[in-house]
Structure 1
Amino acid sequence: MAAGRLTAWLSRSSGLGRGGMIGGRVTLALDPLALRRLGRERTVVLVTGTNGKTTTSLMLTRALETLAEVAANSDGANMPDGVLAALTARPDAPYAVLEVDETYLPWVADQVRPAVLVLLNLSRDQLDRVGEVRATERDLRAAIGTLPGTVVVANCDDVLVTSAASAAAKAVWVSAGCRWTGDSTACPRCEGRVATHDRHWSCGCGLARPEPGWTLDGEFVRTPGGRQVDLDLRLPGEVNRANAALALAAAHRLGVPPHTAAARLRTITDIGGRYRTIRRSRHSVRLMLAKNPAGWVETLRVLDEDTPVVVAVNAQEADGRDLSWLWDVHFERLRGRPVVVTGERGADLSVRLCYAEVAHWAEPDPVTAIDTLPPGAVELVANYTAFRELVGRLPGG
């Protein structure tokens, strides 16, 4: 642990990185059982899914801080190295809230044996790294079946999530909505057609939407006792209200009253720079992150109408090298407003926008792209590494 902390400090001090990954990597190299040792004697909550892990984890952390100190990988380092670094940083914290990449969830869960597992959503993401989403669902289902002491809090409106969470000995079902259905038109169990009506869905093999105990209804969450909790979040969009509903259900399971948890959630104004508005010269720039088709569905819905948009796309290892997901995003929603394309793979995005009949122009440098627009508000949407770069370069980001 000391060696890992020292390595992390050296990484931060030399400006090479935040230290979360390399610190955990060193600790695991010296002690392969370190994660199991550091997870002992704590109440551990794991949060996984394709989108919303960082947001939901921060919400849960804020809620559980009303009980005691919480160890959390709030920097988004959600692979085993980052998870271990978070536990190492706060070895005496009685609670831990850890977001985990869905690919690594089975191994991490086996090590720490969580009290609660929050399963948000499942959709295609970084096909070259993660693989096909149905294989991910099968792996999660198998892992959940080996956790008899874990309560799984799951979004029952998501077909793939329900299939995986049905293996749990104890499940808490939350109706949080699911706009992206492109990966669940066929049943993950039998490949039969999934029939849907509003939020209800079913397959002839018997897999069907469970009755939820918690329900998101606009700005309110209805609890199992029939009470309504007003969210009144400072984060935009239905997707963040969905994350909040799942966070409330998980926090309640660990002893935090829903109204107390909701009050803590209202203190959150941005997630690692996302949704933050900063000033740059003549512009007011709102920073948004979108990494895959399901995430883009939600991001496009919260963009202010008629406001110019800068879209930045990279394809580094952390983003996924495969950009085929661009063709699953309904960029047609950007028609009729000024759009600037930028990032390392701006040319790929430009081709997609041409087919979507979205008028735009290209500017290789993301910061210069902002300056090409008229004074006023700007929406800036970027995928992972492009977003990280921009947050580092923009003042106040």
Structure 2
Amino acid sequence: MAGNSDPLTPRAKLAVTAGKAVAAASRAAGRGSGSVIGGRVALKLDPDLLARLAQNLDCVLVSATNGKTTTTRLIAEALRAAGPVVSNALGANMPAGITSALAGGSDAKFGVIEVDEKYLAGVARDTDPKCIALLNLSRDQLDRAAETRMLAENWREGLAGSKAVVVANADDPLVVWAASSSPNVIWVAAGQMWKDDAWSCPSCGGVMQRPGDDWFCGECGFRRPTPSWALSGDHVLDPHGSAWPIHLQLPGRANKANAASSAAVAAVFGVPPQVALERMYQVQAVAGRYDVVQFEGRDLRLLLAKNPAGWLETFSLIDPPPTPVILSVNARSADGTDTSWLWDVDYTRLTGHPICVVGDRKLDLAVRLEVANQHFQVCENLDQAVQLCPPGRIEVIANYTAFQDLRRRVGN
């Protein structure tokens, strides 16, 4: 727990120093933050470094397909009410990036750590977290990510017998199945807009019944647990039935759901809902997401959507027609090279919006929009797309590396 003497051996201190030096050199060479390469070097020198860095921290791990970076930021803000926090706020969420982040937080009391879904079980073993937040599981990066039920199984096995308090979304059957192996679960009714990865029962393979907001398997009886926390409109309901208003600068229902889960996590650490939710208001943008930037005389709102569930949530928060929309899709290794997921996105929700299409895979996206009967123009680059739009607001939706390209272009 926090407050112990320095846990780092001479070898660990050398590993931290070397990792920071490599990260600094990488930044100086203009190759990004350097956190991943720095973490890799440090872990090579001391394979137990992550565990050593975490042993003086009360840690919370956050994992999901969508929303983990934002939720990590919201939880970090809430826990700062109770002490200093170290967090991998830039989203480097595999062991090397996490190790780098923790190495920079020597005075911290809490570690708030976003974890890639595939690495959750291993990071949980290393960091001995006090709390683990599980938000959702849906299809993503089809060429290399495990099928969602396999990921859920990986979580279920990795969390079995864990001492951590698991804060889990009661509305996602895959998350419920994964979390049910844990002895101590707090269920949150955070909602689930995207349901196409949860029509068969993760426990027995039977068909899921979904009356209203409820769900259950008609064959084995696996069913939605009773939540103790819930998102209700613009409020979070706590286990005592009190309703706490959510005031966020971040848009959309999904971020209210993230705030509800974050309030439940904060309560595990003794931060009351009112304090936690007030602090969450400070978060304006997360690694550029939701930022509004001026570019070529227009106001571009930058929105990240990496997979079908994320696109569905993003469509729900854009301004109504005739606000122009620019869509950008790449298929580089960090995005996943398989673009077949575009066919799972309901692009008819963009009807009435003028659409411009850019990015490495603009022609894949154009074919998909053509089939969805959307009016669009294919553009060479962002500059051309923006010039086709009238002055005022433009919604710009991009997947992962396309989003990074956009941020560089607009100087964000």
Please indicate the TM-score interval, normalised by the length of the shorter structure: over 0.9
Map 1:303-314 onto structure 2 (within 5 A).
303-306=318-321, 307-314=323-330
1:228 to 222, 243, 263: 243
Map 1:191-206 onto structure 2 (within 5 A).
191-203=205-217, 204-206=219-221
In the TM superposition, what is the alpha-carbon distance from 1:366 to its structure 2 partner?
2.2
Percent identity between the two aligned chains: 45
Residue 388 of structure 2 is aligned to residue 372 of structure 1: yes
1:315 corresponds to: 331
Residue 370 of structure 2 is aligned to residue 354 of structure 1: yes
SS at match of 1:303: coil
Deviation track 1:119-154 (CA, whole Å, cap 9, x = no partner) reads 00000010112121110000000011041x110000
In 2, the alpha carbon distance for the partners of 1:20 and 1:74 equals: 11
Map 1:268-307 onto structure 2 (within 5 A).
268-306=283-321, 307=323
SS at match of 1:17: coil
1:161 corresponds to: 175
One-letter code of the match for 1:365? N
In the TM superposition, what is the alpha-carbon distance from 1:372 to its structure 2 partner?
2.2
Deviation track 1:42-85 (CA, whole Å, cap 9, x = no partner) reads 10100001000000000000011111111100001111111111
In 2, the alpha carbon distance for the partners of 1:255 and 1:337 equals: 46
In 2, the alpha carbon distance for the partners of 1:66 and 1:122 equals: 30
Deviation track 1:294-317 (CA, whole Å, cap 9, x = no partner) reads 001100111111100000000011
Residue 157 of structure 2 is aligned to residue 181 of structure 1: no
Contact 1:122–1:133 under 8 Å retained in 2:
yes
2:347 corresponds to: 331
Contact 1:311–1:341 under 8 Å retained in 2:
yes
1:344 corresponds to: 360
In 1, the alpha carbon distance for the partners of 2:143 and 2:380 equals: 25
One-letter code of the match for 1:212? P
1:171 corresponds to: 185
In the TM superposition, what is the alpha-carbon distance from 1:330 to its structure 2 partner?
0.3
In 2, the alpha carbon distance for the partners of 1:105 and 1:364 equals: 39
Map 1:1-397 onto structure 2 (within 5 A).
1-147=16-162, 149-203=163-217, 204-306=219-321, 307-395=323-411, 397=412
One-letter code of the match for 2:294? R
RMSD: 0.9
In the TM superposition, what is the alpha-carbon distance from 1:392 to its structure 2 partner?
1.6
In the TM superposition, what is the alpha-carbon distance from 1:368 to its structure 2 partner?
2.8
SS at match of 1:91: coil
Contact 2:161–2:183 under 8 Å retained in 1:
no
In the TM superposition, what is the alpha-carbon distance from 1:280 to its structure 2 partner?
1.2
Contact 1:346–1:364 under 8 Å retained in 2:
no
TM-score (norm 1): 0.98
In the TM superposition, what is the alpha-carbon distance from 1:365 to its structure 2 partner?
1.3
TM-score (norm 2): 0.95
In 1, the alpha carbon distance for the partners of 2:409 and 2:272 equals: 40
In the TM superposition, what is the alpha-carbon distance from 1:333 to its structure 2 partner?
1.1
Contact 1:344–1:364 under 8 Å retained in 2:
no
In 1, the alpha carbon distance for the partners of 2:122 and 2:337 equals: 25
In the TM superposition, what is the alpha-carbon distance from 1:91 to its structure 2 partner?
2.7
SS at match of 2:210: strand
Which range moves more in the overlay, 317-326 or 198-207?
198-207
In 2, the alpha carbon distance for the partners of 1:126 and 1:146 equals: 30
In the TM superposition, what is the alpha-carbon distance from 1:272 to its structure 2 partner?
1.1
In 1, the alpha carbon distance for the partners of 2:109 and 2:284 equals: 26
Contact 1:162–1:209 under 8 Å retained in 2:
yes
One-letter code of the match for 1:321? T
In the TM superposition, what is the alpha-carbon distance from 1:205 to its structure 2 partner?
1.0
In 2, the alpha carbon distance for the partners of 1:120 and 1:272 equals: 19
Deviation track 1:214-258 (CA, whole Å, cap 9, x = no partner) reads 010000011001111000211111000000000000000101010
